[in-house]
Every structure is written in structure tokens, then in C-alpha cells.
Structure 1
């Protein structure tokens, strides 16, 4: 099948920012699939963003992709890719990720099958929350460290879940916990459900099971009913995280834990100040590239 792609070369931070903005675009057309990779091993800060399409891109398609860049779009080049499965091509460009106790791969790559490492298969066509963005990989590493330090979790929530990966990982670390995953995009309910079945994650409302809802932040009766949570995970963006600080304080149990990601290192001070005002203190911070991952604990 003849297909096309729109190619943009930019800095690593710009491409990561573009991927994050695409994740928040609830009306993003499913016919356009994004992937990203280093331009070359010897230029780690130069990245390539590729937007894959089944037909020749229109001017509107280029504007849509260009609009993901906040500092003005780089040059966008349309390239014809003949006689190939464009979905497979887009996924093959995404290499497996090993983060913390987890190995995340697309269907085009085999599981690691290594003792002590849990394999998760997440299609790269779902773009964000696949483990390949540094914010998601950082959360996997942080959750692994929290478990290593002996934290017990009986009730958890993954807010802005995307693919469901972080909720899956948390349930793997705390298999007897009750879990709920939410996202403001209703499409994510089907995506999380599909990925849960694919990865043998039990669905339901009981211990060791994952419930799925569509919600803005914590604004859902099922979330309020299940609160307070021992652990709240949110891999979103800095401004929504700041806005959600009071809501997370209400949803989190005394001495409960919050893992935040999706914020740049340059935005960390603002986010930490908002959560300090909401009654949280810093337990640990990690950085992955230009991104911060925060583990905060609520004061009693």
C-alpha cells in the first residue's frame, strides 16, 4: 500500500514537546500516526518527528503537525513511502524501552522474557503513554523505586492514563491493590481496555483489578467513591498538574503518595510550590532529559 509521511527535524526537547501536545489534542485525527527517533547516534539532541498517513498530506495536515511545535514549526517535508504497511513502519521505528522493573515494546518487537522484569506490549500507534517518552519511562523508574523502598499501596489512581501503562505497572508492583484509570478523552477507555486484555491485566472494581472511567481530573463519582488513595499517578503537563494540586490533596490519603510527570525541569519549582501549598512534601525527584519526575508525600 502506498503511504506518505510528514517529516520534521528539530531538537529533542521540541519533538518531545510536540508529542506531549498531540497527547492533549482530544480531536487528533486517528488517520495520522506519530513516531519519533534520534536523527543519528552521534547527534543525540537532533530528533526526527514523523507523521504517517495513508494518503498524500494536504496543507491542513501539515498545519496540524506544524502546530504541535510551540516555537514555530521546523521545515516540514512530505515523503512518499511506496508499497509498505505504514502502521508497521511507524511502529518499527520505536525501539523497546527498559525502565525500572519494566520492558515496554510494540507488537513488532519480542518481549524480553527476563526474570524480575515485566513485559508490556503497547502499540506505538497510540503515540503517548507507551513508555517511549521520557516522562512515561521516568514514571516507570519512579514507581519501581517507590516499591523498592517498601511503600505499601492498597488503593491507587492513574489520572490522565492514556494507554493505561502506568496503571498496569502499578498493579504489577502492588498486585493486591484496587486501581482506577481515568482520562479526559473517551477514546482512552477503549484503548486502556484493549491494552489491559492484551497484557493480562484484570479489569473490574475489586482488589487486583483495574476500573476505567472518562473524567476531567478527579471529577467522577467513581473516583470520589474510591478515595482516599494511597497513590495517585499523573503524567500530564505542568499547568494541569498545578491546577489539580488541591483536588489531589482531597483525593490522597494522609501520608499518601503522588507521582507527577509531564513537567519540564524549568517548570518544576512552580509545580512543587503548588503542591507544597496543598500539603505535600518532596520525597524524591528524578530527571530524564529535560523532564522532571516527582514523588511527593502528603503530610498527615
Structure 2
């Protein structure tokens, strides 16, 4: 049997817990930790679940609680679990996602893949983007619509790639394109490489391959050298989208398509305003729940009329995927 200890915490406390910490390394076997938000957009309302191969004694539970100052007065919840893989248990609530022609699944929820879909295997992992959130599924649907409209792209970049899901979808839709995928978090880049191998997508710099790099926004030689792009995808957060507007404008070719997502409906006006000021035209807006996906087109006369002040960087910290 296996055991689970659940405690409330803050987001900062959850992110400070790592399996490599010395206090965890002394335990044999080393327990696994899963952190999750309890209330969306509330960093004070998180929880951790610590999984053990055998029942932890009170001193171990007290040690964990001591590392969570906000849980000092909380009563730990100790639960006995069936003898199953905790990763599978943590993913039982996930369902496969169908978005456009794509079918996104994990090992635990694959089920029967519909015959008319493209299957992509993405495990719930250390990076954002398993397809289950409306902002990601909305992007997949929009990419599918662009393809059905006959859009053709030769140079594509996915800025803030997370697990690589949107880059994989674009690679399937436009298999002869040169595709770049980047993220501010090196863990996400590693996860994307793992997922690419898992799904049979090639990594590299040639047509039909995905070139990976770790970058803050567009601040990387690989991203700059491959510009101008004719399709940019940025499924990040509203703040970084606004902050990166001049930089994204700088690397997108005239007449190019920009897809942005990761913003709430209440944030859309501010994002649209930031890009309109730079000469972009909002071509389409698709809402999936409270999460819009926006398609902009860069005006062909843009560039020589307006100076750009862009350093390519964002202040978004690595590992901050929002509250998906």
C-alpha cells in the first residue's frame, strides 16, 4: 500500500519544495510531491500532497509541516491509498481532449483514439500545456481552422512552448515549415524534447524539424536569426503578451499571423490595444470559456512608419505558467 499526506500551503512554499532537497534525500525511498492550487489566481490557497511507499511516522509529517509556515496550525490529512502508481492516481481526473483534428491524451486516459484525429501523447508533467486547459485547446482549434482555410506558413515560432504541444500541432499541419519552439524555463525545453521523441517529432534546424532553445521572450540568437516569421504563437500570460508586443512585432514579417492566448476575457481589451498601437489588425477572436484566443495580422505598411523599442525580453519568471 502507499500513503498520502495533504497539507495547505502558499504557492511560494509549494515551489520551494524539491525532491533534491537534503531533507527529502534522507528518506528511503524518497517521497513524491504534487503541488496544486485550491483557488484560481490565489497564491495563498495552494496545497501539497506527499506520497510515501509506507506509512510515514509523525516525525516525518512534522518535518514536512515545518517547511510550510502557513500550515503551522493546520491538521495534516493522512490517507491510505491502494497499491497503485501515484502518477496514475493524480491523472485520473484528466480526460482526453479533442480540439479540431487533434486528440490529446496521457497514458492513463488514452481510451480509443477516434479514427479521424491526430493523436498526441502529453503526460501531466513539469511544464504547462497538456491540452486540458481551455486556453491550450482553444489554440489547437484555431490552428486547425487556419489550416482548413488554406493558410500556408514556412517559418513558425512557438514562444513559451511549455510541453511543446502547440509546436507539435503546427509541425503536423505545416510539415515543410521551419519551426522554432522556445521557453523561458529550461525545464519546459527539456520536457518538450522528451515529448517530441515520445510522439515521433524530429528535433533540429531543417524543414519539418523543431529547433529548441531557452529564451526570455524573443531574446535568443536562434529566434532572431530565423526571423521574420509568418506565424507566431504565444500562449503565455496577459502581462508578458503586452510586454513582448514590440519584440513580437519586430520578428513577425509583414502580413504575418500572430496567435496569442493565455489571457482572460477581462484582459483581452488591454492586449488588443497594445498590439493595435503597433499596427496589428485583430482578424479573429475565439472564446473558449473565459479564455479568448486572438488572431492578429501585421499590416504590410508597418515597420518603416514607426520605431520599435524592443529588447526581446520579458520579466516573467521561469517556471511561472500562470494558474492553469
TM-score, structure 2 normalization? 0.74
Deviation for aligned residue 1:214: 0.2
- Contact 2:217 2:244 (8 Å CA) reproduced: yes
Query: Is 2:218 aligned against 1:218?
Result: yes
Work out which of the residue numbers 50, 55, 70 in structure 2 matches 1:53: 50
Query: SS of 1:189's equivalent?
Result: helix
Unaligned runs of 5+ residues in structure 2 are 20-31, 39-45, 53-60, 301-324
Aligned equivalents of 2:278, 2:188: Cα separation in 1: 29
The correspondence of residues 112-127 of structure 1 with structure 2, limited to 5 A, is 112-126=112-126
Deviation for aligned residue 1:81: 4.2
Q: In structure 2, what is the equivalent of residue 44 of structure 1?
A: none
Query: Is 2:252 aligned against 1:252?
Result: yes
The correspondence of residues 1-300 of structure 1 with structure 2, limited to 5 A, is 2-4=2-4, 6=6, 29=18, 31-34=32-35, 51-55=48-52, 56=61, 58=65, 60=67, 63=70, 78-82=77-81, 83-110=83-110, 112-126=112-126, 128-300=128-300
Query: SS of 2:125's equivalent?
Result: helix
Deviation for aligned residue 1:245: 0.5
- Contact 1:183 1:214 (8 Å CA) reproduced: yes
- Contact 1:282 1:297 (8 Å CA) reproduced: yes
1:56-80 deviations in whole A, cap 9, x for unaligned?
553645859xxxxxxxxxx997452
- Contact 1:103 1:112 (8 Å CA) reproduced: no
Query: SS of 2:271's equivalent?
Result: helix
1:174-219 deviations in whole A, cap 9, x for unaligned?
1111111101111122111100000011111010000110000000
Residues 222 and 96 of structure 1: is their aligned pair in 2 closer, same or farther, counting only changes over 3 Å?
same
Query: How many residues are matched?
Result: 267
Q: Aligned-residue CA RMSD in angstroms?
A: 2.9
Aligned equivalents of 1:104, 1:7: Cα separation in 2: 31
Aligned equivalents of 1:274, 1:257: Cα separation in 2: 16
Aligned equivalents of 1:282, 1:266: Cα separation in 2: 17
Query: SS of 1:139's equivalent?
Result: helix
TM-score, structure 1 normalization? 0.80
- Contact 2:252 2:298 (8 Å CA) reproduced: yes
- Contact 1:3 1:80 (8 Å CA) reproduced: yes
Unaligned runs of 5+ residues in structure 1 are 9-17, 38-48, 65-74
- Contact 1:62 1:76 (8 Å CA) reproduced: no
State which structure, 1 or 2, has the greater radius of gyration over its C-alpha atoms. Answer: 2
- Contact 1:52 1:90 (8 Å CA) reproduced: no
Q: Which has the higher strand share?
A: 1
